[in-house]
Structure 1
Amino acid sequence: MRIAVIEDEAPIREGMSKILKKINENYELVGKAENGKKGLELIRKEKPDLVILDIRMPDMDGLTMLSIVREEGIECKAIVLSAYSDFAYAQRAIELGIENYLLKPIKIAELKKALEQAEVNISKEQSKEQLFSLEYIFLNAITGQLDEDGKLADMITERYGIRGDEQIAIFGIGLSDNYDRYHEMVRRTMEEVGIHSNEFHFYVIEFQEKGSIVVILYQLEDQDKIKEYFKKTVVPMLGSQIPGRLSCAWGNCRGLLNIRKAILEMDSVLEWNLFFDRGTLISKRLIDATQTYPIKYPIDIEVQTKEAVADSDRKEFLSSLRRFREYCREGACTPQDMKEACSRYMMSLLHVAKESGKLESSVSMQNMITSISDAIFWQDIEEAFLTFFENLSLKNIGEDGVSLLVQKAIQHIQEYYNQGITLEEVAAKLHVSEEYLSTQFKKQTGRTFTETIRKYRIENVKELLLKSTLKLNQIADMVGYSDPKYMSKVFKDEVGMLPAEYRKKNS
């Protein structure tokens, strides 16, 4: 509880902070003032939860100060201290909504009781206020738990200006596995967009478990104009800031009670990410205006992929998978048709792999098909197929438990470690995503890609230190460090001593 003390008697004013800490160490004294005029400035600045004030003070008495506070709508509780038991003072104080009226000299027990009661009342009001917060209102609207209550509707209109039948727009942002990395940036971006617009009010709600963010727009000046702004400015802005998985959808409804229905409808259009290009603002209106055609299953691509599976030919497998995706996209078929074709494609590959003994029976066919049917990004489908192929590689995994994919990544590190090779470049060479390679690399080697490059460089630095008379700047250049000082720092972090010490000790 944040407390301000306004009292003209210095001993009481100065001693109050010690008394408050003794009563409850969580009480925070936000300031003190010796008269009502300075006390008013303090209250305006700090907005305390509770004010402890005297009545008779110079410049401005306590009750006059409190009446101004009430007129200005500053919400705070008040406990009055007074050496006078005059009924007129007490009556005026009660009219101003004080918590308690304590006579001087103050008894610690009475003050403690008054403070505890004030804290209880503040807590109750804060809880009540939370029940009518925008977060409470919108979350209950989204979950369908907002009651059709006339009094509540009137309160929402009075407090937030949201009428029962007004147009509400919903901007949905799907991040999937990008959520943890980018959700804070997305929130900041959306808040910046909302703050600088006078054409709508907004509220941002995050759904971590779904990997998505919902922005509710209300009090709209012109919904079509706002939607066009989001389409041409906001969506491209997010697309440039967020690599990988990103979906943007638009929905609308009339009134808070229809928000849940609008969001459920918006969820159902997200799979159209499989159809539209990245950076498209997807809406039901856009989908309804899109012409689609039945897909003709590409048997020829399936045959080529089966051959790649039989030969454990990763390059051809990835090439066939890429052709299959392009075929589905160019065919302008619905997302449902695409996923059904992908499921059939996967089933045929699983069958040939198991028949040829290249796939362990423990691999769950159902999990792979489910991953495809639930997909809203092509990356989800591709990763299901990559997982399938990695399981094919179990027969070719070496004694060290490292798959062919990771072995090739390590070979690239060994060959190009001194040229600043990056995870992105290696992933591109191996035709897999950065995320997939990074996960498999860490899982199978116990180290990250960056840690492995650093370790390989340091081992080569050790060898050059002991087997040559090269200077540190020459060694740094040979192993891919542009700055010998930075190389020395990394070397010490890894080995526990500087390069020069290591050369001297081991020569």
Structure 2
Amino acid sequence: MRIVIVEDEVRIREGFFKLLGKLGDEYEIVGEAENGRTGLEICRTKKPDLVITDVQMPEMDGLQMLQAISDEGLDIKAIVLSAYSEFEYARTAMKLGVTEYLLKPLNISDFSTALENIRHQMEEDRRKKPATVGTLDQVMRDIIGGRMSADDEAFNYLKKNYGITADQKFIILCDYLGNQYENSAKREQKELSNSLSFYEGIKYLILDVEYRKSLIVIVYKYESAADFERWIQYQLLHELEGSSAMGFTECTSIGGISQGINDLYPYMDWNISFEKDVLISYPKITQVQTSLCVYPQDLEARMKTAICASDFSQQKKLMDEFEEGFHDGKVYDPREIKECFVRFIWSVIEIAKDIGNKKVADLQQQKLLDGIMNAKLRSELSSVCAGILDMLKDSEEASDTETLTVRRAKSMIHEFYHTGITLDEIADRLGITPEYLGTQFHKETGETFSTYIRNYRISKAKELLVGTSMKLKEISERVGYSDPKYFSKVFRDVTGKLPAEYRKSLK
């Protein structure tokens, strides 16, 4: 995606360079400008895919620049940034085909989502074929995407060709497929169409909207919205028997279809809160009463202990217990559920990183956060948990490539670390020289013997600090240090914190 930044504050422009670099290498900034006039010239010459622009700027503001871009027929997507939340700015931007309007200070998650939406819109535009222009499918896509206004010309065309009038109502169904969209969309569309064909007296259109991971059904002829809604709830959902979420709303005009989708879509995550096969009906969903969602602090502490102890079976058991805790027959706010997932997963990541899990340390945490907070299905949250468990398991299985000698040496360390066992003693038990064992151990583990046994002792100390209320002297002796002061020094050298500070930070 080739991008031009138009912003009068140089520090903000520099910030975009850094931010886009972190979000991915598919973003290329091909130009920058401090006002709309210069930005327009750059857009004329560079012809970028996207322009990110401020509103208030000298010489020519952002909306005037976008108006000029539109007048000249330049096919450039736009993200408008503004510190002003007045409706007039947003309305003007929407008239210019801007679908992403973000307020300062910028929320990174919102910005990342906006870029992703733009990318999917670009891909959808590229898939267009000249033969489809003028079909009901294409007209609806253009109206929803802001590429066509619902004006008299559009109304006349739709009435003449499809019998759709300006003041008629529409039902919108959103069939959200989530991570299964790519593999399931075509099959789901066929099943959905087959089921809808048995409901007499309706006319409808099914649009595949990739950037929303959904199929959008627009019903433009029907007798009763209430009857149709009941049929969806009590028959259609059971017929589909899928792992998707289904949403329902009604809008009063063709011009309101886009807004109807925008109103309904954020509430699709209520599927996480309900049992299976519940229709998300907007605006009814806004009146749902919820129970207090309590974060399982004790479960988090037990999970940290299991990670420190490298007990994968216990880790999996606790992860399952965490997920099942939100499905106890009560209805919780989906955002609160997702915030609990963020907090729990974050605690798992931090403790795993702390004990040296390299795979977890390399995670793109912002991407993981977006995955959780944008989830609308339980399966999407479960997928995140499964991915974390796989990383924890891989870390435990990484030692499979080690020779029997090194594995036996590590086994002895794990059994006798608290006794002060030495390299010479282990080498003697294995019947080899200390020099050979030290060389082979470093070669296969990447650590010296002394570093490994020190780190193992500290990891066991962390387990005791997190999972017990033992005193410092007791923990020190338990992990093989007779002097608590020396133990505290070693612990700080390894972790950067004293034992008491470490215990406090995790509790």
Q: TM (normalized to structure 1)? A: 0.50
Higher alpha-carbon Rg: 1
Higher relative contact order (CA 8 A, sep 6+): 2
